[in-house]
Amino acid sequence: MAALLIKSVPPEIHQRLRLQAERHHRSMNREVLAILEERLATPSVTNLPPPVKTLRPISGATITGIIRRMRDQIR
Looking at the predicted structure, is the pLDDT value of residue 45 above 90?
A: no
What residue spans define the domains of the chain? 11-41
Whole-Å CA distances, 29 to 9, 15, 56, 73:
14, 14, 54, 40
Q: What are phi and psi of 39, to 5 degrees?
A: -70, -40
pLDDT number for residue 48? 81
Report the C-alpha gap between 57 and 60 in whole angstroms.
9
Report the C-alpha gap between 61 and 66 in whole angstroms.
9
Per-residue pLDDT tens digits for 2-44: 999 999 999 999 999 999 999 999 999 999 999 999 988 877 7
